[in-house]
Chains A and B, each alone.
Chain A
Amino acid sequence: MLGYALLAGLVFGLYFGLVGLGLNLVFGVMRIVNLAHGDFLMLGAFGAFWLFGIAHVNPIVTAFLALPVFIALGFPLYYLVVPRLLRAKDPEMLSIILFFGMSQVIEALATIGFGPSERSIPGRVLGSGPVSLFGQSLPSAWMVSGVASGLAVLGVYLYLYRTRLGYLTRAVMVHREEALATGIDVHKVSAIAFGVGLALAAIAGVFAPFMLGSATPAMGVDLNIQSFAVIVVGSLGNPLGTVLGGIVYGVSLMFMQTYFSSWANLLPYLLLILILLVRPSGLLGRQVRLA
Chain B
Amino acid sequence: MLSKLILGLFAALTISGSGARAAGAPAEIKIGTLYAASGNFAAISMPVHYGLKLWIDQMNAEGGVYVKPFNKKIPIKLVAYDDQSNTATAATLYNQLITQDKVDILVADSGSVLTSVAVPIARDHKMLLIDQTGTGAAFFSKDNPYIVLMSDPVSSIWPKYIADFLTTDGVKLGIKRIALLYSTNDFTGTQANAVRGFIKAANAPVEIVYDQGVPTNTTSYTVIINNIRAANPDAVIALGYPNNDISYLRNLQDSGVKFKWQFAIYPGLETEHLEKTVGAKGMEYLYTYTPSSVLEYKAEFGMSLPEYRAAWNKKYGEGKVEFGFNSVAGYTTGLVLQKALAGTESMDQLALRKAIFALSGKLKTIDGTFELNDEGAQIGEITPLGQIVPDGNGGLKFVVVYPHDVATGKPVYPAK
Residues in chain A within 8 A of chain B (CB atoms): 1, 4-5, 8-9, 12, 107-108, 111, 114-120, 122-123, 129-130, 137-142, 210-214, 216-218, 222, 253-254, 257-258, 261-265
Contacts and interface: CB of A to CB of B under 8 A. Distances in A.
A258 B227 contact: yes
Contact of A111 (B38, B219, B254, B277): B38
A257 B37 contact: no
A232 B247 CA distance: 27
B212 A262 contact: yes
B256 A264 contact: no
A235 B112 CA distance: 39
Interface string B225-252: 0110010000000000011001110110
Given A8-B223, A265-B217, A107 B38 contact: yes
B226 A116 contact: no
Interface of B: 36-40, 42-43, 45-46, 85, 184, 212-215, 217-224, 226-227, 230, 242-243, 246-248, 250-251, 253-256, 273, 276-279, 319-322
Contact of B215 (A5, A212, A213, A265): A265
Nearest to B39: A218
B222 A118 contact: no
A265 B183 CA distance: 12
16 contacts: A108-B38, A117-B42, A117-B46, A117-B242, A120-B277, A120-B278, A129-B256, A139-B255, A140-B254, A211-B220, A212-B220, A214-B219, A218-B39, A253-B220, A262-B213, A265-B215
Given A217-B42, A262-B215, 14 more contacts: A1-B226, A1-B227, A9-B223, A111-B37, A117-B43, A118-B277, A129-B256, A139-B251, A139-B256, A213-B250, A214-B250, A216-B43, A257-B224, A265-B218
Contacts of B214: 257, 261-262, 264
B255 A130 contact: yes
Contact of A4 (B37, B39, B226): B226
Contacts of A258: 223-224, 227
A153 B260 CA distance: 40
Contacts of A4: 223, 226
Chain B CB within 10 A, most for which of A120, A210, A213: A213
Contacts of B212: 261-262
Given A213-B220, A264-B214, A116 B38 contact: yes
B321 A117 contact: yes
A139 to B, nearest CB: 3
A139 B222 contact: yes
A254 B223 contact: yes
